Amino acid sequence: MSAVYLYAVASTILVSSIALIGITTIYIRPALIKKLSFLAVGLASGAMFGNALIHLLPGATEIIGSNYAALAALSGIVLFFVLEKLLHWHHHDHFDPDEHVHVEREVKPLGYLVLTSDTAHNFIDGLVIGAAYLVSVEVGIAATIAVILHEIPQELSDYGVLLHAGFSKKKALLTNFGTGLTAVLGAILVVTIGNVSELLVAIISAFAAGMFLYIAGSDLIPELHKVPSRKNSLWQLVMMLLGIALMFGILLIE
């Protein structure tokens, strides 16, 4: 069992480190990053729609049925609606008693929503990897590779969205990495228990699907509409389709 712990923790730490992929942009000019962040938003919207509708919901439906999967997904959507309302109220109602005006905070609520959904998603990845290692080392390695292929486009797009939401490069890297470490917690939980409940994984997966659908539909798509240029809009559409294609491609690999 100690060997399983070692493999599972090492694999999830490796997966978590993918969140640091944004370090490759550290020497890129801020003006260029700002321009490219709109493309990252397009990629993220496609990846989130694809992840929810190609991976998470179908997998959950197989275990708990379409009705319960839909209910869990809708719960995720409603929860994120409430969470975003709270974030917006906090964002706009920060009152400065000296100036007697409302002070606009720098970071958009979108950034915190992405971090919250990514936390749930990475935790699920940890559950999957830990459960796979309980079967065999070979199955665990295969699951780790599949998750890595899935996480590269997801984390790159998440990093771009965090920059677009107002995070600094350093804060975006560290917070993204911090949410990635929840995969380690998921793996440890599974190995400790011995067997993960398929029912629990299915519910969390459908719930996370609702989170992704809400963020992509209510936050990312409106951000894309803020770019009036036909040329840039076309590139955003290309990036959105690329995000969907990547999620579908991973399905074929798995």
Residue 190 pLDDT class (50, 70, 90 cuts)? confident
- Name the burial class of residue 3, with classes exposed (0-12), middle (13-18) and buried (19+) by CB atoms within 10 angstroms of its CB: exposed
- The domain of 76 spans 2-19+39-253
In a domain, 172, yes or no: yes
In a domain, 28, yes or no: no
- Write the CA distances from 182 to 21, 123, 167, 249, integer angstroms: 17, 5, 21, 25
In a domain, 209, yes or no: yes
85 backbone dihedrals φ, ψ, rounded to 5°: -60, -45
In a domain, 33, yes or no: no
Tokens of 152: 């590269």
| pTM of the predicted model as reported, rounded to 2 decimal places | 0.65
Residue 69 pLDDT class (50, 70, 90 cuts)? very high
Report pLDDT for 101. Answer: 38
Report pLDDT for 96. Answer: 45
- Average pLDDT value for the chain: 77
Across 143-152, 174-183, 225-234, the highest mean pLDDT is recorded for: 174-183
Distance of alpha carbon 4 from the chain centroid:
26
In a domain, 11, yes or no: yes
Question: Which residues lie closer than 8 Å to 3 by C-beta, 6 or more apart?
Answer: 137
Percent of the chain scored above 70 by pLDDT?
78
97 backbone dihedrals φ, ψ, rounded to 5°: -65, -25
What's the number of domains the chain is made of?
A: 1
In a domain, 193, yes or no: yes
Residue 73 pLDDT class (50, 70, 90 cuts)? very high
pLDDT at 109 over 60: yes
Across 74-88, 139-153, 175-189, the highest mean pLDDT is recorded for: 175-189
In a domain, 24, yes or no: no
In a domain, 223, yes or no: yes
Q: Give mean pLDDT, residues 203-208.
A: 81
DSSP collapsed to 3 states, the chain = CHHHHHHHHHHHHHHHHHHHHHHHHCCCCHHHHHHHHHHHHHHHHHHHHHHHHHHHHHHHHHHHHHHHHHHHHHHHHHHHHHHHHHHHHHHHCCEECCCCEECCCCCCHHHHHHHHHHHHHHHHHHHHHHHHHHHCHHHHHHHHHHHHHHHHHHHHHHHHHHHHCCCCHHHHHHHHHHHHCHHHHHHHHHHHHCCCCHHHHHHHHHHHHHHHHHHHHHHHHHHHCCCCCHHHHHHHHHHHHHHHHHHHHHHHHC
